[in-house]
Structures are given as C-alpha cells and as structure tokens.
Chain A
Amino acid sequence: MNGDLRVVVVGSGRVGLRVTRLLDARGHDVVMVERNPDRVERVLDAYVATVIEGDATHPSVLEQVDLDRADVVATMTDTMGTNLSVALLAQRLAPDVRTVMRVVDGNIEEYEDYADALVFPERAGATAAINAVLGGDVRTVENLPGELEIIEMTVSEGAPVAGKTLQEVSLPRGSLVVSGAAGHAVAASDTRLEPGHGYLVAVENEVADEVTRLFRG
C-alpha cells in the first residue's frame, strides 16, 4: 500500500518538530502530543499537525490521538522515561501500531525489544559533525542546508510515474531526479522509472509532497 500515513509524534522539541515538518511536507497526517504550552504555540504556528496538549504518558491523553487509526507512533522527546512509557503504552492500547522510539541515553541495544524501530539522532549528528571536522570540498551529503533534501525514493507499482521515462513525466519545479535505477549513473531524459526500483531525487521542501505522490501513488 502506498497511501498517506497517520503518524503520532510525541514531543515537539528540536527533533520532534523537525520530524513533523518533514512528514507533513511529504503529505502525511501528523497528530502531535506536547505538554509544554509554549511549544504547543510553536507547532500551531507551523500548521503542520493537530495538537493534543498534555502528557502522553497519561492514557487519557494518549487515547485522544485515536490510536486505532494511527499507523505509527514516534516518540521523540529528550526524556528516555517518557519515550519508553509512551512506546509501551501505545503497544498496549493499540497492538497493531508501529512504534518508533528515540533513544536518549543508555545502550541502544537494550531497548530493541520495546519498539519496532529505534533512532539515535546523536549518531546521525555525529556523522554530520565528522564531515564538518574533516572538511574538504567533497563529502557525503546527509544534511543539506536549507529546505533541500536528497531522498531515495522507490517507485511503487501503479504509481503515476511507474514505467514512464523522465521525458514523459513533468516534475514540479524544485525537484530533480539525480540517479538512474541501478544507482551508478546520473539520470537522463530517457531514464525509465521502473516500479520497485529506487532513485535518488533532490527535492525542495515545498514540493516534497507532490513528488512523493508521483512516485508512491
């Protein structure tokens, strides 16, 4: 299935808000849970998610996100105790929901059984820091400045662009297919977008949604 996801993001600190913005830019629905009133205002200003104001470790609060309809719960606060309780609570309230937990401290391995996926933003941050420390004119791009991202996108079966050459499709301004299916050549106008294959695509934030829809249906 290629439909839009309904994602619950808990915590709207630096990581949570960034995740929410990116999800919204790609056309997914986000429900945010945040207990700090000042941060709530910030999310409302960004207009990227519906916001439940409260402590997500309280079942009465977490239930208000309508877990039965959610596809993923991503708990992104900077407090390990909160993340762990929310992940466990979510699994208890809605066994089918996929859980993604941010690991703040401790060994990443020790949490493996308590969420479907773990993320450790500090590790990704360290990679970026190494790139900067080592310097040089050429480096692996992970974090691009501003609103530009390079995304690897797999073409879904039946998606609008599936089986078409780049010549036949017209992508919105602010997007560019960088590589061909095998990943070892730069895309050209006769590059065919084969279903099931992944392509590197450079997208600006404001058209990420449209490009995702073209590739994923």
Chain B
Amino acid sequence: MSHGEREPAAELGLLDATMIGMGAMIGAGIFVLTGLAAELSGPAAILVFALNGAVTAFTGLSYAELASAIPKSGGGYAFVREIFDDLPSFVMGWMLWFAYMIAGGLYALGFAPNFLELLHVYGYVPPPGEVGAVALPLLPAIPATVALAFGAVLVLVLVNAVSTAASGSVETIFTIVKVSILVIFVAFGFLSAGGGGETSFTFQNFDPLFTGDGGALSILPAMGLTFIAFEGYDLITTVTEEVKNPRENIPKAIFASLAVTVVVYLLVVTVAIGTLGAEGLAAAGEAGIAEAATSFMPKGLPVIQNGGAVIVFGAVFSTITALNAVVIASSRVAFSMGREGQLLPRFGHIHHRFGTPFLAILGSALVMLGSVVLPTKSAGNMSSLFFLLSFIVVNGALIKLRRERPDMRRPYEVPYYPVTPVLAIGLNLLLTVVLVEYLFRTDLLALALSIGWIVLGVVGYYALERRPEVATGDAGPPEPTPSDPEDD
C-alpha cells in the first residue's frame, strides 16, 4: 500500500440512531436552560419543558415522513432543497447553519461554568462566581468562562477537522453515561424528600406554580427561549444514509429519542425545582443542576469524595458531547449547501488527507468562536429563534411536497394530515412571535444579530449568484463513461 488510508463510516442501528438524537437533546439544554426557564416562569418551568416537548413532537412527525421518503443526509436543509426554489432553500440552510453554530456557542458557554464548578468541588478554584478573569499580556483581561468556552470550541473543531466523526457506538456509550448520571441525580433528589435539609425535595417549591405577572401566559416567552432544548432529533436526519433499514428505523429513532428525552427532562426539572426551588435554580444560572446536586448528594465517598461531583462531571461531559454534536451538525449543513452551489463550492469539498469537510468545519468554527462572547441568554434566544423559523419551513416543505408530488411514496406518513403540519406551523409561529416580542423588550442585541445574519445571507446569496461559474446553479452534463451501464 503506497498511500495512507482511512476507515469508511460505520453503519448505525436503531439504538445508535436514537442515541444520536438523545445525545444532542440531553446535553447542554438540561443543564444550561433549566435555570433560564426557572428565572422566567418560576416552578412552571416544568410546564415549559412539557409543552415544548409536545410542540416539537408535531415537527418531529414531519421530519419522520420526510426522512423516510428522501434518502439524503442533509437534515432539514436537504428536505427543503428538494421542493423549494433556490432562494427559500438557501435561506433555510443559512438559518439552520446559524442555529447550530449558535447552539455550539451556547453549549460552550454552558460547559465553562460547570467545568469551573467541577474544579471547585475538588478545591482547585474558588466557586464559579468568584473566579477572576484571565489576564494576558497585551490583551484586555478575558473572563475565565469565555476563555474556557473558546478553548473548548477550538479543541473540538480541530479534532473534527482532522478526523472523521466518532462512530455511532461511541455516541451510544456517551449518551448512556449521561442518562445514567441524570438517573442518579433524580433518584437522590427524590430520596432527599422529608430530610428537612435546606435543599430536601419538597412539593412546597411548586406552590404557587405560576409566579409571573401574566399568570399562565408567562410561560410562553420561556418556551420560546428554551425551544432549542429539543432540537436534537434533527441531528438523526443528518446521518440518515448511514442508518440500517432506514425506512423503519429513522421514524422510530426520532419518536423514541424525543419521548425518552421529554421524560428525562421532566424528571430532572422536577427534582431541580423540588430541591433548590425555582429562585435558587434561577440564581445558580448555567451551573444550576450541578449546584443543586452538590447540596443533596452524599459526601465523603472514596475517590470521588463528593457525590455531587458525579453530577457536575455529568454536566461537563454532557455539554462537551453536545458541543461536539453541533460542530458536526453545523458543518454538515454547510457541506450540503456547498454541494448544491449555495455556498462557495469549496465548502462542499472534502479534504484530500483528512477526508473531512474541512472548510465547512472551519467556517462554522469562526461563527461559533465569535458567539462565545455573547451572554448565554442571547445565544439561547438566537438559536431557539432560528430553530423555530427553520421548523416552520420544514413543515411547509411537507405540505408543498404532498400537494405537488401526490404519487411520491412515503414509507411513513404523518397522521391526520393536513391538521398535524398546519398545527405545527401555527404553534412554532406563535412561539416565534412571542420570542421576537420578548427579544424586542429585553435583548435587542440578539434580535439585531439575528436580522443581521439573514440580511448578510441574502446579500451573499445574490453576490454568489452573479459569479459566472455558479450562475446556472446546476451541473452540466456528466462525463461520458467508457463502458455501458452493466447488465444484471
């Protein structure tokens, strides 16, 4: 053998595909977003996650139908590209790309304080709130969390740029570790009930359920803000071509990962609010779950010393694996867009030595690295906003495909069509409007950056369109091949 070789991608079973979806959903969201949800809606945060699970399930149905009928690994962008014209499908890919990149920033920002908490548990650093800035010569002092978040993104980008993605079985092990740690958290949380300690589980923490001024309606902004928590099943559809028996396993994996994730979220949020109280959870911010755990888990254990350390480790591990997942997901969207000539064609090239979509990963990394200077909340807001928008387009694609290609075969069909996708569009639109209104009042930075990204995309789209070699958008006739297509 005269030249180096790499292994081709592995085949994924139903379990692996389910775990890919769960791995992204039970990642940063559960640790980072629960605090934010509690801050906005108090104990009703539990309803926020339940309802978000229900809303996203409708879009999950649409994803299942599209993925079972369209054998392309590009996720939502590939489905929309199949039926919409150039500009709408470009905007879709552009939004989804951004959603993943900002989610990467969000997960990195969730990783940093939890990592500091882990170091704190073992006494290496003061509590996360008291860690000072990193002072570098010639540069202004950078907060430790931002530096850590930046470093985490950088490391994962480099790893993914030079080697093909971790195989499905690794992802499965990762996800099982995460879920096990959360089960431990939930078990000890419920066991602490009646202990009389400051953070023992008690149902008094849920009374009153609604603390906001607007009563039950106050949960709507929190829903918009935390919508990103359940975006992970989209990731399953970016690897469909590697899934075994796809027409059955992809819809199953989407539903199974969503159902299990919602249950896990509800249990964890119940315990977190029941022990720490909504106010305590909100105050702890990104490290909320970890702090709650340190308070009620047993101490003085051998080796790990502190039971809470397990949960804090879980938080660190979850945020970093979720970050890894979105590094891959964002680069796949950029790669698909490059293949279609909707980004610079170079984005659709794989590297001659590493076999990875090198430029697509580096391009995604730039935005991700830039986004770690954002406040966590703004990153969450923007990512949720773009997922909501792109889910609206995906449901639109489903309806358009049904109308224009009635004879297309769909191994899985959405039940109660057209009620289901129309309802999905309506609910996503409602949350979008509420979120935009909320951003207008509280987070103009996020709103401005979001609008700026779309404007930048449309301008870039027309600039690329005018380049002579991609002006037609389509490829020319194929090279003639020397032999006839073979007989059977």
Residues in chain A within 8 A of chain B (CB atoms) = 1-6, 14-15, 18-19, 22, 24, 29, 40, 44-45, 47-54, 61, 64, 69, 71-72, 76, 98, 116-117, 119-125, 128, 142-143, 151-152, 154, 159-161, 164, 166-174, 176-177, 187-189, 206-207, 210, 213-214, 217
Contacts and interface: CB of A to CB of B under 8 A. Distances in A.
Contact of B349 (A45, A49, A121, A217): A217
Contacts of A171: 3-6
14 contacts: A1-B469, A44-B409, A64-B406, A71-B478, A98-B477, A122-B487, A124-B483, A128-B487, A151-B481, A169-B3, A169-B352, A172-B6, A189-B2, A189-B3
Nearest to A215: B352
B467 interface: no
Nearest to A160: B352
Interface in B341-381: 341, 345, 348-355
Contacts of B348: 3, 217
B69 A50 contact: yes
Contacts of A166: 2-3
Main secondary structure of the interface of B (DSSP, over half): loop
Interface string B92-105: 00000000000000
A47 B11 CA distance: 14
Main secondary structure of the interface of A (DSSP, over half): mixed
Given A5-B478, A15-B488, A40-B409, 19 more contacts: A1-B474, A3-B345, A44-B411, A47-B71, A47-B246, A50-B408, A53-B409, A61-B407, A64-B405, A71-B476, A71-B477, A98-B478, A121-B485, A124-B485, A125-B486, A142-B486, A154-B479, A160-B352, A173-B6
B404 interface: yes
A47 B249 CA distance: 12
B482 interface: yes
A189 B5 CA distance: 13
A52 B487 contact: no
B400 to A, nearest CB: 11
A4 B477 contact: no
Given A53-B407, A54-B407, A172 B353 contact: no
B330 to A, nearest CB: 19
B315 to A, nearest CB: 36
Interface in B45-97: 69-72, 82
Contacts of A45: 245, 247
A72 B7 contact: no
Nearest to A154: B479
A40 B407 CA distance: 11
B8 interface: yes
